[in-house]
């Protein structure tokens, strides 16, 4: 029991670190918004695990507050901040792709897996299945 709970907490900590990496170096504001949502979800899962491990219900209102805060933050970023920051700034877009060499260390497998992506603007890679899945 305690071993499984330790494994769960370790996995949650590792995912929090990974999400924080994207939160720090996400190229655009929207990447950071998405990472912030995921981070809030990870923290909520951690509070749920803490509640279950100790058997005390006093942290449950914090779950409600975190849910509301995550929703408000992401909607306000998407609505007001992102459109205003990057309106018509194509150069910032290109710069982000150039700075997206950080994708190169992790994304090489995906780059070779999508060999037909060389027709358009090069750094924007990846196939159609993911776009379709993310759109739905």
Partner 1 sequence: MNWTATADVVALVCMLAGAVLCLLAGIGLVRLPDVLTRMHAATKPQVLGLLLVLVGAGLRLRNVADLTTLVLVGLFQLLTVPVAAHMVGRAAYRTGRTDREHLVVDELATGPYRSSGRPGGSGGAFGASDGGVGGPARRDARDGSDRPDG
8 Å CB contact between 78 and 37? no
Among 6, 11, 98, 118, the residue binding partner 1 under the rule CB under 8 A is 11
Judged by CB under 8 A, the number of residues near partner 1 is 77
When asked if residue 113 is in the footprint of partner 1 (CB under 8 A), the reply is: no
Among 6, 14, 95, 113, the residue binding partner 1 under the rule CB under 8 A is 14
Among 52, 98, 101, 118, the residue binding partner 1 under the rule CB under 8 A is 52
Distance CA 64, CA 71 (A): 11
Helix (H) or strand (E) holding 128: helix 128-135
Distance CA 74, CA 95 (A): 24
8 Å CB contact between 74 and 111? no
Question: Residue 112 Cβ, how far from partner 1 at the closest point, in Å?
Answer: 13
8 Å CB contact between 86 and 29? yes
When asked if residue 115 is in the footprint of partner 1 (CB under 8 A), the reply is: no
Positions in 67-86 near partner 1 (CB under 8 A): 67-68, 70-71, 74-75, 77-79, 82-84, 86
When asked if residue 101 is in the footprint of partner 1 (CB under 8 A), the reply is: no
- Phi first, then psi, for residue 119 (nearest 5°) are -85, -30
When asked if residue 122 is in the footprint of partner 1 (CB under 8 A), the reply is: no
Structure tokens at 51: 């509640």
Question: Residue 8 Cβ, how far from partner 1 at the closest point, in Å?
Answer: 5
């Amino acid at each position: 029991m305690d071993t499984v709970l330790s494994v769960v907490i370790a996995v949650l900590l590792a995912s929090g670190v990974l999400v924080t990496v994207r939160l720090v170096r996400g190229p655009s504001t929207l990447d950071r918004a998405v990472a912030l949502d995921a981070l809030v979800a990870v923290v909520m899962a951690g509070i749920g695990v803490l509640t279950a491990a100790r058997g005390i219900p006093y942290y449950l209102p914090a779950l409600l507050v975190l849910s509301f805060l995550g929703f408000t933050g992401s909607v306000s970023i998407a609505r007001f901040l992102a459109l205003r920051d990057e309106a018509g700034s194509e150069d910032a877009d290109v710069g982000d792709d150039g700075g997206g060499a950080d994708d190169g260390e992790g994304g090489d497998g995906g780059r070779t897996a999508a060999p037909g992506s060389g027709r358009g603007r090069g750094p924007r890679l990846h196939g159609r299945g993911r776009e379709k899945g993310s759109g739905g």
